């Protein structure tokens, strides 16, 4: 009977430690997912910035390698309303 308490306390301490370790890793994972969602990644030509691709390759105009661009997207740039739909008083 006396040996049950130290064993129980030991397993309880191990479980608390394990839970503490996993919660930190999920917080880091969630913050990286949020950061990933807030950035737009595309590939473009340095000489022809109008050329955009979702994967690496060569520019169809000059044949140069496309470079990776990461642009932070804010909430205001996601929603764009045409100017003629805005009403002023």
Q: For residue 49, is it within any domain? A: yes
Instruction: Tell me the pTM.
Output: 0.43
Q: For residue 4, is it within any domain? A: no
Task: Tell me the per-residue pLDDT of 16-46, one tens digit each, with 9 for 90 and over.
Answer: 888 777 655 555 556 555 555 678 899 999 9
> Comparing 16 with 75, which gets the higher pLDDT?
16
Q: For residue 81, is it within any domain? A: no
What 8-state DSSP symbol labels residue 66?
A: P
Structural domain for 56, as ranges:
37-74
> Comparing 74 with 73, which gets the higher pLDDT?
73
Return the exposure string of 48-68: e unless at least 16 CB atoms fall within 10 Å of the residue's CB, then b.
Answer: eeebeeeeeeebeeeeeebee
Q: For residue 45, is it within any domain? A: yes
Q: For residue 7, is it within any domain? A: no
Q: For residue 65, is it within any domain? A: yes
Let me know: does 64 contact 58? Beta carbons within 8 Å. Answer: yes
Give all strands of the β-sheet with 39-44 in edge-to-edge order: 52-53, 39-44, 67-72
The count of structural domains within the chain is 1
Residue indicated by tokens 């932070």: 72
Q: For residue 19, is it within any domain? A: no
């Amino acid at each position: 009977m006396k040996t049950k308490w130290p064993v129980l306390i030991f397993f309880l301490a191990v479980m608390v430690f394990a839970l503490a370790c996993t919660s930190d890793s999920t917080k880091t994972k969630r913050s990286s997912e949020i950061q990933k969602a807030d950035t737009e990644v595309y590939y473009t030509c340095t000489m022809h910035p109008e050329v955009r691709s979702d994967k690496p390759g060569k520019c169809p105009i000059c044949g140069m390698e496309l470079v990776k661009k990461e642009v932070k997207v804010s909430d205001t740039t996601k929603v764009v309303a045409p100017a003629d739909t805005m009403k002023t008083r």
